[in-house]
Amino acid sequence: MKYMPTAKPLMLMTKTSHTCLIVSSMASLVLLMMVLYGTMSSQQPGGSSLRHDYQLLGRPLYKLDLSWPKNPELYTGDVFGVAVNQYAGVVYVAQRGDNVPKVLVFTTDGDYLMSWNTTTLEKPHGIFLADAASSNPTVWVTDVGNGPYGHCIKRYTPSGKLLQVLGTPGKAGSGLDPLQFDQPAEIFVHDSGEIYIVDGDGGMNNRLIKLSKEQKVMWMHGEKGQGLAQFYIPHSVTVDTAQRVWVADRGNKRIQVFNSVTGEWLGTWGSCFTEDAPYSVRLTPDKKYFVVVQLNTNQISLLDAPPVGMIGFTTSAGERGRMTDRPGAPKRVVRVRWECLAEAPVHEIFNSHLGQSFNSIQRETGDIKSDWTMFSISITEVTVLSCDRKVVPVMVVTPEPNGGHQR
């Protein structure tokens, strides 16, 4: 099954406890990547104008295509991941189970092409297609199996020939030289050749690792916890065009954001995920929306991607569609209620949170600039925990040609 652009509104489910607008229920993870790569919209004339119209009307951008694939009986295992080559019109579906082909290959029209005849995959978790536009695309698969081929990441040709293995097959670990993983969840390969890995689908590790094109470790966050840049089951990773790395921190029910060059922590999203955690995060081809899967509540959400220079907060695509603001502009600002710190009970809670937060920060001794930056971040974070937040109107200031400003 897959999603395709729609001219008919679907049933919308709204949640009053957060700002997400749920686009549709998820039948399987195959649906997710079909939305991500927009294969159908690129094949239909007028797709972009249709999409714009439906954004303005607040309607869903996609509908479920129940006729895909044409032979669903070929799914003999549990479907767990999908990757799409939009240029070649090919879809790779990863499945789990005993004595089943671990990867099935279809056309975007739903015709079956082949299955991989490989014994080197035990338990696929994440699947990613790299260099799709080149003449030599490759398919990366993370393997969380516990057998002799598990706990590593593998690179294959489109026909399933094993080209490379990252990690130590069959041996779980936390080493960096040689590189080891324990149930690596997902991989993202940037056009530059740099690699981002989230390692720790319930194993000993809770890591976000960046590798260079030469596959050397460039930076890493690897501490388990609930604080800034800490993880509990980092489950998915994607990178946008503004040098930002977005990580689905499943166990903490949030998405954390980092600078792709330095690894610096930039912010976090959590308000959308009070009922269920984000399991997967990807960007639509136009980079306007994040596509987020919440597995236990069977939901796929489209969330506005913030403009360059800000992290913002979660706003659904449908919600933005009903607004008259310029595309990409924040619709409202969530302000920390600092004034509540004057209240004695809140002040005591604040001090407790602040002590815990600042004690967990990793920094070099004597690094005053680093200390102050992280301390100021901690103050804001614990004030949010202690005082809550409230929504205030937005003032957008844009420069005018004569040097003045327009509000």
Note the pTM of the prediction, 2 decimals: 0.69
Is the pLDDT confidence value at 319 over 60?
A: no
Residue with tokens 């089951």: 233
Residues 136 and 177 in one domain: yes
Same domain, residue pair 316 and 356: no
pLDDT one-digit tens code per residue, 109-164: 999 999 998 899 999 999 999 999 999 999 999 999 999 999 999 999 999 999 99
pLDDT at 379: 59
Which CATH number does the domain housing residue 115 bear? 2.120.10.30
Residue 328 maps to a domain: no
| DSSP H or E stretch at residue 55 | helix 47-57
- Asked if residue 183 is part of any domain, the answer here is yes
109 shares its domain with 186: yes
342 in the same domain as 284: no
Over residues 324-342, the mean pLDDT reads 42
Segment 11-25 mean pLDDT: 33
| 92 plus 146 within the same structural domain | yes
Enclosing domain of residue 343: 333-406
Rg of the Cα atoms in the chain: 22
Mean pLDDT computed over 362-381: 50
Q: How confident is the model at residue 317 (pLDDT cuts 50, 70, 90)?
A: low
Specify burial of residue 381 (Cβ count, 10 A radius: 0-12, 13-18, 19+).
middle
326 within some domain: no
61 within domain boundaries: yes
Nearest-5° angle of CA 137, CA 141, CA 142?
150
pLDDT for the residue 34 = 46
| Alpha-carbon torsion (383, 385, 390, 394), positive or negative | positive
Among candidate residues 321, 344, 375, the one where a domain is terminated: 321
Domain termination residue (choose one: 271, 292, 321): 321
User: In the predicted model, what is the mean pLDDT of residues 261-289?
Assistant: 91
Cα angle 187-209-228, degrees, rounded to a multiple of 5: 115
Same domain, 124 and 162: yes
The answer to whether residues 153 and 237 belong to one domain is yes
The predicted structure's pLDDT at residue 324: 29
For residues 127 and 136, what is the distance between their CA atoms, to the nearest angstrom? Answer: 17
Compute the distance between CA of residue 151 and CA of residue 140 in angstroms, rounded to an integer: 14
**Comparing C-alpha atoms, which of 253, 381, 248, 240 is closest to residue 306?**
240
396 vs 127, residue with greater confidence: 127
As a whole number, the mean pLDDT across the chain is 76
Report yes or no on 348 lying in a domain: yes
Confidence of residue 108 (pLDDT cuts 50, 70, 90): very high
Greatest mean pLDDT range, 23-37, 44-58, 197-211: 197-211
Average pLDDT of the segment spanning 400-404: 39
Q: State whether 368 and 300 are in the same domain.
A: no
Q: How many domains does the chain have?
A: 2
**Most confident by average pLDDT, 362-366, 383-387, 392-396:** 383-387
Residue 293 lies in a domain: yes
